[in-house]
Homo-oligomer: A and B are copies of this chain.
Amino acid sequence: MKKTELRNMLEQVASGALSIDDAVLKLKAAPFNDLGFAKTDTHRAIRQGVAEVIYGEGKTPEQIEHIASDLLANGQKTVIITRLNAEKAAEIKKNIDIVYYEIARIGVAGEIPEPDTKGCIVIATGGTSDIQVAEEAATTALLLGNRVTRLYDIGVSGIHRLLSFKEELMSARVVVAAAGMEGALASVIGGLVDCPVIAVPTSVGYGASFGGITALLSMLNSCASGVSVVNIDNGFGAGYLASMINRMGE
């Protein structure tokens, strides 16, 4: 219930058009999401251009189609579907027109926005095996309208590779650093740049990498300032947050 609605209702009470009992009922029933403080579907639909996101894992193609169609019908311009495997994507394509990014495991229905940000998000990875997670971040950021630079396979065990991209790194407004194994990439980049670094531990590695735990712990202990961490393999979360930060000051 927005302020104006509240005022209207009270005016009806003052004029006798609404009984007190009915007003009490209405006030109690007014859902909290009408009070304007929460990100709800409708709320989001109002601010055009912001993509709505469906977490695809554990949902059937039919469920995804249903939600996506609904959102599009309600005026949503872009619908992002994350953690969508190729089989489900193929299934959905039969009924809805979606673009599918295989490595990122992301599908998109509706408009694909043009990058319109001044600043650029750099997505860096330690090795080639981190690319799937990085692509989830990169594709998310792109679909939220950001300019993105990919710097893949610049891990710290060959520090010259990383240093040869110092210009790209230093001109970034946000960096997403995805790495498995010892996860040192975030620290080294954090020491080079002046902008926020979002560290994404990946489950890449074997033995004592413990499915990303080592990288996670390593990144949390980064001695560089400006580094924060998201969950293991959470490329979407990193891309979403990077976009949020990149759009600060718009």
Residue of B nearest to A22 (CB): B10
A9 → chain B, closest Cβ, in Å? Answer: 10
- Taking CB atoms, residues of chain B closer than 8 Å to A157 are 187-188, 190-191, 222-224
A166 to B192, CA, bound (A): 18
Closest to A20 in B: B10
The answer to whether A225 has its CB under 8 Å from any CB of chain B is yes
Q: Indicate if A49 sits at the interface (CB-CB under 8 A).
A: no
Contact B38 A192 (CB under 8 A): yes
**Residues of A contacting B: mostly:** helix
Interface positions of A from 94 to 117, Cβ below 8 Å from B: none
Q: Please give the number of chain A residues whose Cβ is less than 8 angstroms from any Cβ of chain B in the complex.
A: 96
Cross-chain contact B158 with A159 (CB below 8 angstroms): no
Which residues on B sit within 8 Å (CB–CB) of A225? Answer: 53, 237, 240-241
A182 touches B222 (CB 8 A): yes
- Which of B6, B27, B188 has a CB less than 8 Å from the CB of A184? B188
B contact residues around A191 at 8 Å (CB) = 38-39, 156-159
For window 1-59 of A, CB contacts with B under 8 Å fall at 3, 6-7, 10-11, 13-14, 16, 20, 23-24, 27-28, 31-33, 35-40, 53, 58-59
Interface residues of A in 214-250 (CB under 8 A from B): 214-234, 237, 240-241, 244-246, 248-250
- Restricting to A173-225, which residues have a CB under 8 Å from any CB of B? 173, 181-184, 187-188, 190-192, 194-196, 198, 201, 203, 205-210, 212-225
A86 at the interface (CB under 8 A from B): no
The answer to whether the Cβ of A92 comes within 8 Å of any Cβ in the partner chain is no
CB pair B156 A32 closer than 8 Å: no
| Contact in complex: A241, B226 (CB < 8 Å) | yes
A231 / chain B contacts, CB cutoff of 8 Å: 206-209, 220-221
